[in-house]
Amino acid sequence: MTITPLLATAAESPVRAFGLLNYTALAAYLLAVFGVGVWFTRQNKNTDDFFRGGQSVPWWAVGVSIFATMLSSITYMSMPAKAYAGDWTLVLQNLPIFLLAPVVIGLFLPVYRRLDATSAYEYLEKRFNYGLRLFGCVSFVVMQAGRVAVVLFLPALALSTVTDLNLYASIAMMGVFSVVYSMLGGFKAVIWTDVVQTVVLLSGALFSLLLILFNLDGGLSQLLSTGAANHKFDIAFWSWDVTSAGVAVVFIGGIFNQLVPLTSDQGYVQRYMSTRTEKQAAGAIWVNSIMTIPCTVLFLGLGTAMFVFYQQKGGLPSLPTPDAILPWFVTNELPAGMAGLVVAAIFAAAQSTMSASINSMSTVVTVDIVHRLRGKRSDAADLRLARLLTGLFGLAGMGAAYWIALANLQSMFDTFIKVVALTASPLAGVFILGIFTRRTTSAGMVVGILAGVAAAAAAWLKSDISFWLYAACGMLPTVIVGYLASFLTKRDSRDLSGLTFHTINRPQPNRGGLSR
């Protein structure tokens, strides 16, 4: 996708003061999410409460939280920006979320729920060995650390471009409040702030779209006709060229990009385990899937609406990155106070992802490393450790965002896809082989991981292949090479009862009480 001439030729716009009313609205939002964290502090009596909400979280709230975790500031700002600068190709990226829901519910969820794990990577030790469990934990932490940095940096950069909000102060405001309520309230605070933040950010996007329609000459009909005339509603062109953004490439790439988090991301599996029953967990997955498509249409529609709106006004001021389009519109077109609430929505999109990430990172380090190597201590000691790790990971994410501020990255969405491919897609391949095959061995799996990482890195650094296919480049070699290599290695001597899809209905034997 290319940037439209409006971005390149319009006159520069002066930075606009954010104003007292907008600061007040933003402060009210930040205090509200802080209050949620304080409220749930008293409900955390042990690490199960802190990491899984005591498995008592309502299924619909879990579903909204899954959606909020996916709906980061990357989505909230980059999707309208890409629709403004290009077309609706991203519909094909998100459509597989709905199509994959029955696959995840029918094939993956039963294994995780019967395992009753706190960390998704406990499965890898029971299925393979501790080395692969450690690989899963470390890969997840690396990926989430990069994700936190990106979702903090992107909105802060855009806001500092078009307002007098300071880049570093914005990162601090988003980061510090996320760290505090996540440390205090644990998993329940993360879930319920996700619900609040989803309401805020969807309301902000919807209000902005309605404001454009109200002020647009010709209203909705003008939006549709002008958008169609400029090919804004095009989804994609048909092409099998792997270097293009053709419909086949984006859709197939979308399947792999969505399969990675839905099947192997601790943040998602942790939510699957937070409801009382497997049926409720399935309902949560459907809530996320059902919300995804209409919200994708909302964000892309907002981007197209901004294109038509500014075309009527004579052009959008030149911006250093397309990702600044939404903040520029919000701060220049919305009334005082309301602009502050929509900026709060941008903060909410970043905070929902950050809080989920740092809570999940704390979970896997506590369960997969500390508990596994040192054993569980008292509930009070483990709870203190969990809160300490949550704070440390949050501060590290903020530090990484400050470091990224020095880099010249044109599209954070594209960069994030590359990071996911390198760190997460081979890990998803491990789960797929573990769950769906009985012949895959630990040694063969190591060979497969090396092949997957090498293939993903080569796709990024040594080829012109579309970034939409990076996740496939990491996952498929892991699966194919790992499975074939397993026939050249000695079978693992372990009972697979309850650990594969084929043996899910056989009871899992006691394996010596692995620490969770």
**Digit-coded pLDDT (tens) for 295-328:** 999 999 999 999 999 888 877 667 666 777 888 8
- Predicted confidence at residue 4, as pLDDT, reads 34
Residues 268, 77 contacting (CB under 8 angstroms): no
CATH of domain 30-503: 1.20.1730.10
pLDDT band at 5 (very low <50, low <70, confident <90, very high): very low
pLDDT of 130-155, one tens digit each?
Answer: 999 999 999 888 888 888 888 888 78
- The single-letter DSSP state of residue 324 is G
More confident: 344 or 361 = 361
Candidates 450, 391, 468; CA nearest to 82 is 468
SS3 at position 123: helix
SS3 at position 320: coil
pLDDT of 234-253, one tens digit each?
Answer: 886 667 777 777 778 888 88
Query: Considering the chain, what is the average pLDDT of its residues?
Result: 82
Candidates 461, 245, 193, 466; CA nearest to 349 is 193
More confident: 216 or 420 = 216
Candidates 150, 164, 70, 79; CA nearest to 409 is 150
Which two three-digit tokens encode residue 427? 């890990």
* Number of alpha carbons in the 13 Å side-chain half-sphere of residue 137: 23
pLDDT band at 267 (very low <50, low <70, confident <90, very high): confident
pLDDT band at 421 (very low <50, low <70, confident <90, very high): low
Candidates 323, 90, 344; CA nearest to 199 is 344
